[in-house]
Amino acid sequence: MKKIIPLHTPFLAGAVALLLSSGSLQASSDNMHKLYQDNCASCHGSDHGGYLAPALNSETLKGRSPTALRSLIMTGSFETLMPPFYGRLSDNDIRSMVKHLQSTPKLDNPPWTIKDMQASLKVYVKDESKLPSKPTYQIDSMDDLIGVAARGKYGRGTGSKAVFINSKTHKIVGEIETGTAAHIIDFDPANERWAYVKTDTAEIFKVDLYSMQAVRSIKTGYNGPSMGVSRDGNYIMAGSFVPHNAVILNADLEPLKLFELEGVDPDGKMVTSDSGMIIGTPYADIFAIALENAGQVWVVDLKDGFPVTKIKNVGRHLHDAFLTHKGRKLMVASYDDSIVAAIDLEDRKIIKKLKAGCVPHVGGGAAVKVNGRTLGFGTNFGTCDNNTVVSVWDLDKMELVKQLPVSGGTESPAAHANAPYVAVDVITKDRRARTIQLIDKKSLEVVKTLDVGGHAYFPEYSADGQYLYVSAGYAGDEVVVYDSHSLKKVASVQMESPAGIFSRGRVKYMTRGLSPDEME
């Protein structure tokens, strides 16, 4: 039986109250504000400033036809994550929402303080010492776990969960409901039993992988995808788009220090900033965090007071990054000037800015050893004239090796030391979005295109490199598994709108494609 959750019931009541007490425009606006926060904000931003999805405010929607907006809300938007709200919101609510959106300016960043975080901490398992001492399901090695961020069709509800799969049998071994869409899964490098799941609305769940249950959760902001775990597993750092801050938590998810993200950008302007990637490294007891708008990378030492070293002028609109050279070097993507900056985390300096394609988005990045060279692969969101490419760099010499033509914009590469191909997901919004392309490691050319169905993205290899997992997200509702050599489809795992895929093997090889030997 399907369970329909009447999300809008309180608003119907509100609407009735409104009819009875005429002239209370304020009440209507409050209702719409809540309706927006409950249904739209996790993707469009609680400040109406956009997040995974476009900004919806009086400025961005100026001149748009209310009828067209209404029908877009009703039917959803194909080839995007926008779900159909027909039947979930009443027609009146949808009409009022269009009015509300077209008359609301982008709001100021709402505050979310340490106190708010502390108040949001939930403890599901009081006594962790009573948890089982080994996995309660059959698995050869915990590295075989693959976690999938299942968004759920509406980005919330019972379809939203972190799904864990045994990548040898392709069977689901655990599911953690997350309330809103799971976005990022990070594994504790020091203790195989823990994982951390962050949602689109910035809740972090600490998950016991042995018993497959959440033990605690905390809300660290309104949104923002970034999260990192320190190499000793003692600290978690999470950053937000709304508001502009980042926080260090201990392993019990208790907030220790809040950082306001602001600084002078490469054009000399003082700005507050979204939090880009946050990464822990096997190299040192530090976190690195990218300040998207300020164009800075901050290195936080995990010692008394958590001192910060600021590396400025890294690039315009930083986003994500990957590690190389045992975690000493960090490759940070800069959207607006189409470079990837190489940073030395020991010297805390920019080594070099390397040319990328258009709007580089490196995802988790990929690096492979070929003929003695360490090659890094960088995907690019953007498509540009004659230059829709995946960038390949020599990470030892820090120079561009090749701009490798692909069929469209890409957002995440997967590689494995034991697999012959680097997989990239094509995201250009037409039939190409159903495909991933496979690049031969040696020839550095696309040798095969796979039609995965749905909106194919976030490829990931199993820890042993035998299987390639790909989300057929949006309309596909399955994760498709291929043999990494023959590229034959071997399994399909059903779930609602799967997105990011995270192998626990990543903690062994740091960056996908490298061999664990290089970590020793």
Partner 1 sequence: MNLRLLAAVLLTLMFSSATKAASIYAGKAKAAAVCAQCHGIRSTSAEAPFPPLAGRDEEYLEMALKQYRDKTRVSDIMNNIAGSLSDRDINNIASYYSRLKP
Binding region for partner 1 (CB under 8 A): 2-5, 74-76, 78, 83-84, 86-88, 91, 152-154, 156-159, 453-454, 475-478, 494, 496-497
For the record, the structure tokens of 369 come out as: 């050893």
CA torsion 42-48-54-59 (nearest 10°) is 170
Q: Helix 66-75 to helix 91-103 angle, to the nearest 10 degrees?
A: 130
Q: Is the Cβ of residue 497 or residue 503 nearer to partner 1 in the bound state?
A: 497
- Min. distance of Cβ 471 from partner 1 in angstroms? 14
- Min. distance of Cβ 407 from partner 1 in angstroms? 18
Q: Is the Cβ of residue 264 or residue 491 nearer to partner 1 in the bound state?
A: 491
- Min. distance of Cβ 77 from partner 1 in angstroms? 8
Which distant-in-sequence residues (6+ apart) come within 8 Å of 152 by Cβ? 158, 159, 160, 161, 180, 181, 496, 497
Q: Is the Cβ of residue 98 or residue 463 nearer to partner 1 in the bound state?
A: 98
- Min. distance of Cβ 361 from partner 1 in angstroms? 25
Q: Is the Cβ of residue 327 or residue 454 nearer to partner 1 in the bound state?
A: 454
Does residue 103 sit in helix, strand or coil?
helix
Which distant-in-sequence residues (6+ apart) come within 8 Å of 126 by Cβ? none
- Min. distance of Cβ 218 from partner 1 in angstroms? 25
Q: Report which of 246, 160, 152, 247 is spatially closest to residue 197, judged by C-alpha positions.
A: 160
**Do 382 and 389 touch, CB atoms closer than 8 A?**
no
Q: Is the Cβ of residue 83 or residue 505 nearer to partner 1 in the bound state?
A: 83
- Min. distance of Cβ 71 from partner 1 in angstroms? 8
Q: Is the Cβ of residue 36 or residue 474 nearer to partner 1 in the bound state?
A: 474
Which single residue is written with the structure tokens 């995007």? 80
Q: Is the Cβ of residue 253 or residue 481 nearer to partner 1 in the bound state?
A: 481
CA atoms within 13 A on the CB side of 210: 14
- Min. distance of Cβ 246 from partner 1 in angstroms? 31
Rounded distance between C-alpha atoms, residue 288 and residue 344, angstroms? 11
Q: Is the Cβ of residue 5 or residue 384 nearer to partner 1 in the bound state?
A: 5
Cβ count near 286 (within 10 Å): 24
What single-letter amino acid sits at 505?
G
Rounded distance between C-alpha atoms, residue 119 and residue 456, angstroms? 38
Cβ count near 148 (within 10 Å): 27
- Min. distance of Cβ 431 from partner 1 in angstroms? 9
- Min. distance of Cβ 457 from partner 1 in angstroms? 15
Q: Is the Cβ of residue 81 or residue 314 nearer to partner 1 in the bound state?
A: 81
- Extended strands (E) in 395-488: 399-405, 410-414, 421-426, 435-440, 446-451, 455-461, 467-473, 478-483
What does the DSSP 8-state code read for residue 335? T
First to last CA, the chain: 52
